[in-house]
Chains A and B, each alone.
Chain A
Amino acid sequence: MPAARTQNGRRSRPQALAPYTVVELSSRIAASFCGKFFGDFGAEVIKIEPRGGAPERRLGPFKDDRLSADGGMHLFLNTNKKSVTLEPSTATGAAIVKELLRQADVLIEGLPAGTLDAWGLTADEMERVNPNLVVASISDFGQSGPYRDYKAADIAHWAMSCLLVGSGLSDREPLRVGDDVSEYVAGLNACAIALGALFGRGMSGGQSIDLSVLEALITVQPSSALSYAYNKSHMPRAGNRFPMNIVHCKDGYIGFYPQFPHQWEMFADALGKPELKTDPRFASPLARMEHADEALAIILPWCLEHTCDEAVRIGQEYHVPFIKVANAKDVATSPQYRARNFFADIGTVGSGNVTAPGRPFGMSATPWQLVAKAPSLGQHNLEIFCNRLGFSKLEMGILAEQGVL
Chain B
Amino acid sequence: MPLPLEGIRVCDLTQFWAGPFATQYLANLGAEVIKVEPAGRGDRQRTSAVPRANPGEWVAIFNGTNVNKHGCTLDITTAEGKALLRHLIAISDVVAINMSARAVKKLGLEYGYVRSVNPTAVMLSMTGFGATGPWQEYVGFGPQFEQASGITYISGYPDLEPMGNPAMGDPIGGTFGAIAILMALDHRRRTGQGQFIDLATTEGMSFINPYSSLDYTMNGRIKERNGNKHAVWSPHGAFPCKGHDEWVAIAVQNDEQFAALCRAIGKPEMAHDMRFADALSRWEKEALLREPISHWTRQRDRLEAVRLLQEAGVPSGATSTHATIVDDPQLKDRDFLWRIDRPINEGRHPYYGFPARLSKTPITARKRPPTLGEDNGYVYGELLSLAGARMAELDERGVIAKVLR
Contact = CB atoms under 8 A, between A and B. Distances in A.
Interface footprint category on B: 35 or more
Contacts of A246: 147, 152, 161-164
A168 B251 CA distance: 19
A160 B215 contact: no
B318 A366 contact: no
Contacts of A169: 157, 160, 163
Interface stretch (A291-299, A350-358, A379-387, A389-397): A350-358
B162 to A, nearest CB: 5
B207 to A, nearest CB: 5
Interface string A22-60: 000000000000000100010000000000000000011
Nearest to B221: A328
A330 B131 CA distance: 21
Nearest to B223: A328
A212 B355 contact: yes
Interface in A153-199: 153-170, 172-181, 184-186, 188-193, 195-199
A224 B322 contact: yes
B245 A342 contact: no
Nearest to B202: A336
Given A152-B315, A200-B4, A179 B193 contact: no
Contacts of A142: 330, 334, 357
Interface footprint category on A: 35 or more
Given A155-B237, A211-B356, A321-B140, A175 B210 contact: no
Interface string B127-146: 00111111101111101100
Contacts of B349: 226, 229-230
Given A150-B310, A211-B355, A255-B143, A230 B60 contact: yes
B141 A230 contact: no
B37 to A, nearest CB: 17
A323 B147 contact: yes
A5 to B, nearest CB: 18
A178 B156 CA distance: 9
B183 A16 contact: yes
Contacts of B227: 173, 175
Nearest to B205: A178
B210 A72 contact: yes
B6 interface: yes
- Which of A1, A163, A328 has the largest count of B CB atoms less than 10 A from its CB? A328
Given A62-B218, A200-B30, A229-B350, A234 B322 contact: yes
B283 interface: no
A123 interface: yes
A325 B148 CA distance: 6
B317 A156 contact: yes
Given A327-B150, A355-B217, A361-B199, A174 B247 contact: yes
Interface in B325-349: 325-326, 328-331, 333-334, 336-337, 345, 349
A248 B151 CA distance: 17
Contacts of B148: 323-324, 326, 334
Interface stretch (B77-85, B169-177, B378-386): B169-177
A199 B182 CA distance: 8
A204 B60 contact: no
A116 interface: no
27 contacts: A16-B183, A76-B210, A151-B313, A159-B247, A162-B320, A162-B325, A173-B227, A174-B319, A189-B356, A193-B358, A203-B2, A205-B360, A208-B358, A208-B359, A218-B325, A221-B171, A222-B61, A222-B167, A257-B140, A321-B143, A325-B147, A325-B152, A330-B153, A331-B213, A336-B129, A355-B213, A361-B197
